Chain A
């Protein structure tokens, strides 16, 4: 399996791992991301399927940037995670994978995670002066825009409101 091969060639780079029925996940440090990416590219993981992120708010550092790779010859899949705090940037993979371009812009737009070395790091979905990053857990569902919910009898439950506050 690819996790063992990474272990052999770069001992200690994998901070955490998880494998279940072919679902292989590794957690690496952001400073060594590019080295690991070059290694797994050499191992045959040449299709970057998706770049996404996760916000685990009370946790520190709060974000997981998640990369999904597919090995086109062996049909193996690999998930790679990088843990970053708010405002900390992640090295961009655009120089290695063209598909990272829009995916990283989407993550930047919706989570506010900057990608270092991205050629055109602008919002992909929301408009330019949109306030905030909507997929963050502390972003209010209505975007802080009360016009969205006013004149509506059945508003959010108090529990949901407190989550949004």
Chain B
């Protein structure tokens, strides 16, 4: 019986490592562009900065077909529930990059209409500062996200997501109970969380 010599054609590794390697190199971005950061993002996707080098060239404008949410611009209180819904609809596992200061903290819009940081309503993985950030900064941000993905265990995100889905169920309950619109409820949830000294509602 002749021994089969496999030589270099087989490599042993951990499942986590190979799954994460695949995930980090095939991110499917969903651009949620609401302001000038989206213009810089176009530049990042175009040939000069060529974001496809990082394996994330295929933009999907449907949340069902994407797993990296790029929030590019100011999110108003009225838009917060839309962002939550988009995030909820994305394919798991999903990541969020908050691009620019408006998305990250409200930025210069410290006003009645602007959500003071999207991390109050959805979980954020990477924050990219800048107003707007240069394409290099956004690329660096996504590279940081890739580093994060590599280190993840396969079930690490479960708890994270369950907490978010719970808050979404709570939001829907409040909406039905009070006959309120989604932005009224999200606003109330943000304010109630603030009174308890919490930074987020999820």
A contact residues vs B (CB 8 Å cutoff): 126-129, 134, 139-143, 145, 147-152
Contacts and interface: CB of A to CB of B under 8 A. Distances in A.
Nearest to B194: A147
Given A127-B181, A127-B184, A128-B181, A143 B112 contact: yes
12 contacts: A126-B78, A126-B113, A128-B181, A129-B184, A141-B111, A142-B112, A145-B112, A147-B194, A148-B106, A148-B116, A150-B194, A151-B199
Please classify the interface of chain B as helix (H, G, I), strand (E, B), loop, or mixed, using the class held by over half of its residues. loop
A134 B110 contact: no
Nearest to A141: B111
A32 to B, nearest CB: 36
A141 B116 CA distance: 13
Contacts of A142: 110-112
B126 interface: no
A134 B113 contact: yes
Please classify the interface of chain A as helix (H, G, I), strand (E, B), loop, or mixed, using the class held by over half of its residues. loop
Contacts, number: 40
B30 interface: no
A107 to B, nearest CB: 17
Interface of B: 77-78, 106, 110-113, 116, 181, 183-184, 187, 190-191, 194-195, 199
Contacts of B190: 147
Nearest to B187: A127
B110 A141 contact: yes
A43 B56 CA distance: 60
B110 A148 contact: yes
A148 B112 contact: yes
A141 B112 contact: yes
Given A143-B112, A148-B116, A127 B78 contact: yes
A134 B112 contact: yes
Contacts of A150: 194
B191 A145 contact: yes
A148 B184 contact: no
